[in-house]
Amino acid sequence: MANTTTALRRQIGSARDLKAVVRTMKASAASAIGQYENSVAALGDYARTVELGLSLCLRSAHAQGGQALAQNQTHQTHQTHQTHSPTVVHAIVFGSDQGLVGRFNEAVVEHAMAQLGQQPAKAQVWAVGERVQARLHDEGLSPAFTFPVPGSVELITRLVGQILLKVPTPGQENEGAAPGETLVLFYNRPSGASYEPVSQRLLPLDGHWQAGLAAQPWPTAQQPEVLGTSPQVLRAFVREHLFVSLFRASAESLASENASRLAAMQRADRNIGELLTELGARFHRIRQSGIDEELFDVVAGFDAMAPQAPPRA
């Protein structure tokens, strides 16, 4: 009995320690979800400002009879569309560096594989996260570039800057850039208490989207004037549009990752609680059984040592 109860005590202690770790990770994930969701909400005002600037630049270019950046980038969508046969397809897949996230990486890789199968050109994959890189390798895709997952909101800007250094801006000559390059993002977006994989094509720009922005009315009666060379200003706003889109995708992916980790930790907490209940009941049964056996031994020993009554004549 001693060995059995000792082993059970050890298992119960380990389960309690693991439960404490799980609860700490739950609290950390719940806290992280809030900061990434708040960053996405705060980005909305800046995104609106960039959109207004793009609208003004496009309106100015169209007024001058130009076809500025026509058919060079698509508006943000949840699905990948095809407008022409691109020379190169750059696919950025956002995943995680750490585990304990359920099917977070598997879901985004499966979605990316399904969408990339529809591309007329072979895709060059960029991976954000070591875990998603491993999943891509399992699918037979070797990422051309790998970026670490930001550990905080402040580090997202650094990641976006690293990606933008490798992204050709429409209308700008970049080393290694080819006409008709396509840039597609694959990431998980928060959906209620869970997440869903989505895709968003940033390049090339879509002509209908540009026309819609150019036709968008200015919110005030006094319309601002574009200073400097119009194409240069337009390229600058497009660059900011790419920054906003990449930042939002990264922040939403991080919020989804922590939501997935929170759900996984909640399941683990529930399973550990059930295990502790089972181990506790087994421990008490074995301990009570041992106590009963010892009591029986005492009673039997007492009966054996008690003086026997003399036989009657």
DSSP string, 57-76: HHHHHHHTT--TTTTSBPPP
Backbone angles phi, psi at 197, to 5 degrees: -75, 135
For residue 195, the domain's CATH number is 3.40.1380.10
Residues 6+ apart with CB under 8 A from 193: 259, 263
Decide: 111 and 93 in contact? Cβ < 8 Å: no
* Average of per-residue pLDDT across 39-57: 87
Decide: 198 and 77 in contact? Cβ < 8 Å: no
The reply to whether 30 falls in a domain is yes
- The pairing of strands 194-203 and 182-191 is antiparallel
119/313: higher pLDDT: 119
* Average of per-residue pLDDT across 219-234: 76
What's this model's pTM, rounded to 2 decimal places? 0.77
Average pLDDT, the chain: 81
The reply to whether 17 falls in a domain is no
3-state secondary structure of 140: coil
Q: Taking 90 as the threshold, does the pLDDT of residue 245 lie above it? A: yes
The reply to whether 307 falls in a domain is no
d(CA 231, CA 102): 46
* Average of per-residue pLDDT across 155-161: 95
The reply to whether 298 falls in a domain is no
The predicted structure's pLDDT at residue 120: 61
The reply to whether 36 falls in a domain is yes
211/154: higher pLDDT: 154
The reply to whether 282 falls in a domain is no
The predicted structure's pLDDT at residue 302: 64
The reply to whether 271 falls in a domain is no
What does the block give as tokens for 275? 């295990």
What percent of the chain is predicted at pLDDT more than 90? 37
Model pLDDT for residues 97-111, shown as the tens digit of each residue: 988 898 999 999 999
Q: Taking 60 as the threshold, does the pLDDT of residue 313 lie above it? A: no
Decide: 209 and 55 in contact? Cβ < 8 Å: no
Of 7-11, 226-230, 283-287, the one with minimum mean pLDDT is: 226-230
Q: Taking 60 as the threshold, does the pLDDT of residue 226 lie above it? A: yes
Q: Which range scores top for mean pLDDT: 45-49, 226-230, 243-247?
A: 243-247
3-state secondary structure of 244: helix
The reply to whether 13 falls in a domain is no
Cβ neighbour number for residue 281 with a 10 Å cutoff: 10
The predicted structure's pLDDT at residue 36: 93
Question: What is the extent of the structural domain holding 125?
Answer: 23-216+230-266
d(CA 311, CA 313): 6
The predicted structure's pLDDT at residue 194: 85
222/163: higher pLDDT: 163
Tell the burial category of 177 from Cβ atoms under 10 Å away from its Cβ (0-12, 13-18, 19+): middle
Decide: 178 and 88 in contact? Cβ < 8 Å: yes
Beta-sheet strand order (sheet of 145-147): 145-147, 123-128, 89-94, 182-191, 194-203
Total domain count, the chain: 1
- The pairing of strands 123-128 and 182-191 is unpaired
